[in-house]
Amino acid sequence: MVESAATQEIILEVEDLRTYFRTRFGTVKAVDGVSFNLRKGETLGIVGESGCGKSVTMLSMMRLVPIPPGRIVSGKIVLDGEDLLQLSEGEMTKIRGSKIALIIQDPMTSLNPVFTIGSQVAEAIRLHQNLSKKGVMAQALEVLRKVNIPAAESRMRDYPHQMSGGMRQRVVGAIGISCEPMVLIADEPTTSLDVTIQAQYLKLLKDIQRESDLSIIFITHDFGIVAKMCDRVAVMYAGKIVEMGSVRDIFNNPSHPYTEALLASVPKMEEDVERLYSIEGQPPTLHDLPEGCPFAPRCQYVMDHCRTEYPVQVDLSESHYAACWRLA
């Protein structure tokens, strides 16, 4: 899967993206110099602890950061040759849903409880496609069938509270793909699902991707999902990408101490241990980052140099890099 994706064209490029929030405690550098690209038909996983900047990165790409207190300070987000940060809000409205779409973590908060499922799926289609009212509803019905909603025609008249968590998650997915976007951002879409429904939902996403050559950015805490879904992985910590590589690179050769610690914290069913591994300490406060490497206070390999200067990026292969003084 990685090999085929590597030959595809780059359709999304994020360069030195910085998103800051002004608070009474100081400036929170939620996203601080993030760069990556995404190829057609590829799935990029973004992992890291809560508060590391994953979701804010994706909201920045959608231009949905609340202003104030948030602000995209600098960077480029080039989608299909067009820098999204240079567009007006009206122009961006035409892009959201049609070229880039977002599946939010909790479907119960992203679906409006007072509108029917059919009207909510139809909204993006009505906005972006020049179809009659009958054509809009017909396409909404087709999209619900595509995500395997049983009895889709009658479900069009239902409200979100009449559906199970798994069904609501499928509806949110249907809204995401309703206008056949080039890029789909899935922000921990399986968090509220049990294991069986989660497996069905992931298979559904892969099937849709295979049919439409969709590019997916998958935000998750679950390395099992990363192994199943992703071609490449970006590991984020304190608003920065500290390591990026193929799934094989990350699992077989984790090179940043934080990546190594994340993988070590995943329980192994074949091992009988008295105490599960955990990463000591807490992530840094983003409005008061330490000098040098932000992971240094928690790192088992820390050196004096780590505490005074941020590490340089070291290329370990053509597709694998990490930012750590231990590698320099």
Q: Please report, for the chain, the start and end positions of each structural domain, with discontinuous segments joined by +.
A: 2-99+181-323, 107-180
pLDDT for the residue 20: 95
pLDDT for the residue 237: 94
User: Is-contact 98 128, C-beta < 8 A?
Assistant: yes
Q: Is 235 helix (H, G, I), strand (E, B) or coil?
A: strand
User: Is-contact 155 161, C-beta < 8 A?
Assistant: no
Query: Pick from 51, 45, 49, 13: which is nearest to 32 by CA?
Result: 51
Task: Quickly state the pLDDT bin for 118 (edges 50, 70, 90).
Answer: very high
Report the distance separating Cα 319 and Cα 297, nearest Å. 28
Quote the tokens at residue 199.
């497996």
Return contacts of 195-204, CB within 8 angstroms, 24+ apart.
Answer: 197/165, 197/166, 197/169, 200/148, 200/166, 201/166, 201/169, 201/170, 201/173, 202/228, 202/229, 204/147, 204/148, 204/170, 204/173
pLDDT for residue 139 is more than 50 = yes
Task: Quickly state the pLDDT bin for 288 (edges 50, 70, 90).
Answer: confident
User: Is-contact 124 97, C-beta < 8 A?
Assistant: yes
Query: Pick from 222, 257, 208, 252: which is nearest to 237 by CA?
Result: 257
pLDDT for the residue 7: 54
pLDDT for the residue 105: 74
- Whether the upstream peptide bond of residue 181 has omega within 30° of 0, thus cis, is no
For domain 2-99+181-323, say whether CATH 3.30.360.10 is its number: no
Report the distance separating Cα 233 and Cα 240, nearest Å. 13
- The distance from CA 310 to its chain's CA centroid, rounded to whole angstroms, is 25
pLDDT for the residue 202: 86
Mean pLDDT of 159-184: 87
Report the distance separating Cα 95 and Cα 84, nearest Å. 9
Q: How many CB atoms lie within 10 A of CB 244?
A: 24
pLDDT for the residue 204: 84
Query: Average pLDDT over the chain, rounded to whole?
Result: 88
Quote the tokens at residue 17.
């993206």
Residue pLDDT, tens place only, 178-214 = 888 999 998 888 776 777 778 888 888 888 888 888 9
pLDDT for residue 277 is more than 80 = no
Mean pLDDT of 6-12: 77
pLDDT for residue 319 is more than 90 = no
Residue pLDDT, tens place only, 28-87 = 999 999 999 999 999 999 999 888 889 899 999 999 998 889 999 999 999 988 999 999
pLDDT for the residue 265: 84
Report the distance separating Cα 153 and Cα 225, nearest Å. 31
